[in-house]
Amino acid sequence: MNNFDFYNPVKIAFGKGKISEINKLIPANAKILMLYGGGSIKKNGIYKQAVNALENHDFIEFSGIEPNPRYETAMKAVELVKKEKIDFLLAVGGGSVIDATKFIAAAAKYEGDDPWDILANYAKVTDALPIGTILTLPATGSEMNGNSVLTKAATKEKLAFGSPLVLPKFSILDPEVTYSLPKRQLINGVIDAYVHVIEQYLTYPVNSPVQDRFAEGILLTLIEEGKKALQNEQADYENRANIMWAATMALNGLIGVGVKTDWATHTIGHEFTALHGLDHAITLAIVLPGLLTKLKEKRSEKLLQYASRVWGIYEGSDEEKIQKAIEKTDAFFRELGAKTLLSEHEIGKETIQEIISRFENRKMAKLGMQQDVSLADVQEILESRM
């Protein structure tokens, strides 16, 4: 196991009716900005629950944060924060709203010339407004980590930053808020969380049995509960609760401590979202099986462990077991309804070339924390997913 530091002070309030507790979690005298997306929270009652809970607080609103949230939109919120002297940000939404809120929290306190540097030039975040979240979509894990991804619409760049200063002070996880989600979004969340786990688990062994078994436990849960969610005609509380908790645990830092993580699948996937607006989870479902196939020799040890412990594959040669595990992974995504081939999204070779060029322009010759994915590999991976 490698040396590591772990620090996750996010307060989690989990369960039915927990939204009502935000009044105790936000300082009484705080001036709050409530941030949300396109207004679905007004239809499904979450907005009302939040407003009721804040009846003794002073708050204003900022809406219209889009999926794959835009830097440009976030900067409008930063202006409002400064003008209104806001001192607490309440994000009500999924990963997009929470990610945008993290950037807003950091940008509002940024003392450099241009907050874009936080995303594009690793400018250090030295202060941030406090954040709380009411999670409406289990998927990204953003509710319990300090990471954020934004897209600059002008240049179609999708970039990330992270800081412990933007860890939410609290996050409310009420599984009932997912009842009104379109099944597609719920399923995308399952795939997103699944790939988060894979990117921290399916790399190189470092003798980390606790982290490995935690990762496998989350994967098994997502497989079981993802399939149940698909089959259930009516939303089932326990099913939604288990998906929600699994997705949070998938990316709160815990399973990644002391192990080798990757993120190459995310790096490649982001490009399809930036260029063609594909759902984030779908981009991961496209890339991952190709990437694992390309790396199946380098990463054979963990792939074999994955094959047996997650998919119960014990028969055949090592190569056959690995092949079968990758096929099962792809089949799982497809069973959930994901189109995992580029042709199914009418994306062709020219996009692959464009993506390679974009990486070249950013001087990214090798991708991922493990640096074991070259641009030639990327080309081969994506061509295998046509």
Give contact residues for a copy of itself (rule: CB under 8 A): 1-18, 207-210, 212-214, 216-218, 220-221, 224-225, 238, 241-242, 245-246, 249, 254, 257-258
CB of 171 to a copy of itself, least distance (A): 10
CB of 369 to a copy of itself, least distance (A): 18
- DSSP per-residue string spanning 188-216: HHHHHHHHHHHHHHSS---S-HHHHHHHH
Residue 264 and residue 373 in contact, taking contact as beta carbons nearer than 8 Å: yes
Q: Scanning the structure block, which residue is given the tokens 């098994």?
A: 220
DSSP helix/strand/coil, 180: coil
Residue 270 and residue 159 in contact, taking contact as beta carbons nearer than 8 Å: no
CB of 23 to a copy of itself, least distance (A): 15
Phi first, then psi: what are they for 292, rounded to 5°? -65, -40
CA distance 133 to 272: 28
CA distance 220 to 10: 25
Q: What number of CA atoms fall less than 13 Å from residue 127's CA on the CB side?
A: 6
CA distance 119 to 344: 32
Closer by beta carbon to a copy of itself, 33 or else 219: 219
CB of 312 to a copy of itself, least distance (A): 13
Which is nearest to 130 in space by CA: 96, 87, 92, 95? 87
DSSP helix/strand/coil, 131: strand
CB of 230 to a copy of itself, least distance (A): 17
Beta strands in 244-342 (DSSP E): none
Give the helix/strand (H/E) hosting 223: helix 209-231
Closer by beta carbon to a copy of itself, 160 or else 220: 220
**Span between the terminal Cα atoms of the chain, in Å:** 38
**What amino acid is encoded at 225 in this protein?**
E
Closer by beta carbon to a copy of itself, 3 or else 361: 3
Residue 190 and residue 251 in contact, taking contact as beta carbons nearer than 8 Å: no
Which is nearest to 381 in space by CA: 296, 262, 294? 294
The encoded tokens of residue 306 equal 């994955």
CB of 10 to a copy of itself, least distance (A): 8
Closer by beta carbon to a copy of itself, 253 or else 289: 253
Which DSSP category does 283 fall into? H
CB of 207 to a copy of itself, least distance (A): 4
Closer by beta carbon to a copy of itself, 105 or else 246: 246
Closer by beta carbon to a copy of itself, 7 or else 361: 7
Closer by beta carbon to a copy of itself, 174 or else 271: 174
CB of 140 to a copy of itself, least distance (A): 17
Closer by beta carbon to a copy of itself, 46 or else 286: 46
Closer by beta carbon to a copy of itself, 152 or else 169: 169
CB of 320 to a copy of itself, least distance (A): 24
The encoded tokens of residue 73 equal 């939109």
CB of 319 to a copy of itself, least distance (A): 27
Closer by beta carbon to a copy of itself, 118 or else 218: 218
